[in-house]
Structure 1
Amino acid sequence: MAEAMFTQLVADHDLSDDYVITSAATSTEEVGNPPHPGALAALRHHHLDASDHRAHQITQPDCQNADYIITMDTANLAAVQRLLPASERSKVHLCMDIVPGKQGVSIADPWYTHKFETTYEMLNTALPLWLTTMQQSRQEASV
Structure 2
Amino acid sequence: MSGKGAPTLTIDGSGLRVAVVAASWHTTVMDGLLAGSRRALSAAGVTDVREVRVPGTFELPVAAGRLARSGEYDAVVALGVVIRGGTPHFDYVCQAATLGLTDVAVQTGVPVGFGVLTCDDEAQALDRAGLEGSHEDKGAEAAEAAVATVVALRDL
TM range (shorter): 0.3 to 0.5
> TM-score, normalising length from structure 2?
0.41
More helix, by proportion: 1
Q: Identify which of structures 1 and 2 has the higher relative contact order when contacts are C-alpha pairs closer than 8 Å and 6+ apart.
A: 2
> TM-score, normalising length from structure 1?
0.44
